[in-house]
Structure 1
Amino acid sequence: MFEPLLEQPDYRFIYQYRDPRDSVISWAYNEISEGNVKGNVDFEAVLQKIIISRHHLTEHISRAREWFSLGDKVLSVSFEEMKENKAKVIKIIIRFLGISELIDVNAINSAVSEYSDLQYAGSLDVKEARLYKLKLVRCERGVSRAWVSGLTPVNKLLFKKIAGDYLIELGYEKDFNW
């Protein structure tokens, strides 16, 4: 899809990534909230299917590695960095795009304070109505390290086998002892 644009000298890309363990938890809740899981909803089974499925985790990792390999045409930004300091990351993005002189820093700070995480969380209440009906309400939406309590020991082991090296590659882990 983007391949022809990659050859253009004036194009830049921003790739945002997240700890894949948190991503699979979000994907599982999303599959359920969108009605893609029929019948009795077993959250652990949905989560395990996503971890094992080629169409979710391994394909995601493969695409991410392609983006990372593109060098200075791509700015990689972690979800965790963005959550920690939105204004700083937005300024980095603006510099990367070469449009610093077009953007007022005060406008960035104002926008960041105006559009809070609480507003985002509130918007999810409507989107995730099906989760409420199934009593699968999650209090750790959009937070880092939700996987610590959200993955069972079995799913953690499975994740290590399938994507442990990727976690080390991204700097989320130093080894397989997590």
Structure 2
Amino acid sequence: MTSLARKPIQGAKEILCTLYRRHIWVRRLDRFRTGIWGIKNQLQFKYPHRILFIAGMAKSGSSWVHAFLRSIPGFQRPPIVDRSAVAKGELWDDTYFSNIPKFGYYALKTHASASPELLEIIHKMNLPTLITYRDIRDQLVSRFHHILVDPNSLHYKLYNELPREEAFSHSIEYAIDPYRDWIDDWLKVAEKEPNVYKVISYEQLLKNTFEVYRDILLFYGIDLPDHKIRSIMVVADAQTKGGVGSLAERIRVGGGANFRGGRTGDWRNHFSRKDVELVKERAGEQLIRLGYEKDMNWGL
């Protein structure tokens, strides 16, 4: 699908989201529709968990994984709600999940940090949780390019007006600390409770896609034959702008904001020496601990 063909689709999505936020009857209708399908799915399928939860670092492949989980037969997205308060960190209590119908199977994703409120919900609702992260350098590149094409982003206007190198350096300094902490906080939680949390990296997913998806399913207690997993992969990847076979091509041409930074190691094409030193200072230890570097002697 060309970028021109995607524009009307994106516009339609924005209109629908506006309707959901402004009109309660639209949200109720969507919840009713989702609930009916939920009853049908729960009668037809028997899975050990009704909710598959993802705590995904932004630009770490979490949308890709989310599409995969929603494509499992019987699973669907939950009813759409106004999530603006959640996105701002103002609402992490049971009300976030209360909109989910009592029957059916659902896949949910959040970019939220490992707050005590969210961890309490995970335990209270017995939510097996998948954590996804990425080399923070590549993540920062992908995040920057997303901001450049997203008018709703805080720094959209600033970054499109500044010289590119200056804008990119500002984006690194602004974001590196919270994203570094996001990774560390979730990994600490997962280390303490490996039966509740599973951790995957974007690099693992990109290199061994089938094997990683199979492991994810087993973590959620879902055992499917290989051919079924592969068919789900095709459906899921088509939802994220392409097919499994075209992933490498998407990365090569940089198709779509979510895949603009899809290459591993692409940060070398964007970082300045100043950027390298900043990341070493703020996240160098993490890069070594996670196996992305052997020591501090890395550079462009």
1:116 equivalenced with 2:244 (yes/no): yes
Q: Moved runs in structure 1, 4+ residues, more than 6 A?
A: none
Separation of aligned partners in 2, 1:22 and 1:95: 28
Of Structure 1 and Structure 2, which has the larger fraction of its residues in helix?
1
Amino acid at match of 1:171: G
For 1:55-77, what per-residue CA distance to the aligned partner results, in whole angstroms no more than 9, with x for missing partners? x2211111221111123121110
Distance in 1 between residues matched to 2:204 and 2:127, nearest whole Å = 23
Q: Tell me the equivalent position of 1:59.
A: 178
How far does the alpha carbon of each residue in 1:92-135 deviate from its partner, in whole angstroms, 9 at most, with x for none?
A: 111111222xx23211123335632636939x74659xxxxxxx
2:222 alignment partner in structure 1: 99
Contact in 2 for aligned 1:22/1:145 (Cα 8 Å) = yes
Cα RMSD of the aligned pairs, angstroms, is 2.7
SS in structure 2 of the partner of residue 173 of structure 1: coil
TM-score by length of 1: 0.79
Q: Which ranges of structure 2 fall in alignment gaps of 5 or more residues?
A: 1-91, 93-117, 236-242
Q: Does 1:18 align with 2:134?
A: yes
TM value normalised by structure 2: 0.49
Q: Distance in 1 between matches of 2:256 and 2:234?
A: 23
For CA contacts below 8 A with separation 6 or more, give which structure has more relative contact order: 1
Q: 2:210 aligns with which of 73, 87, 90?
A: 87
Q: How many residues align?
A: 164
2:282 corresponding residue in structure 1: 162
Q: Which secondary structure does the structure 1 equivalent of 2:297 belong to?
A: coil
Same amino acid, percent of matched pairs: 21
Unpaired segments ≥5 residues, structure 1: 129-138
- Given that 1:28 and 1:43 are in contact with CA atoms closer than 8 Å, whether structure 2 keeps it comes out as no
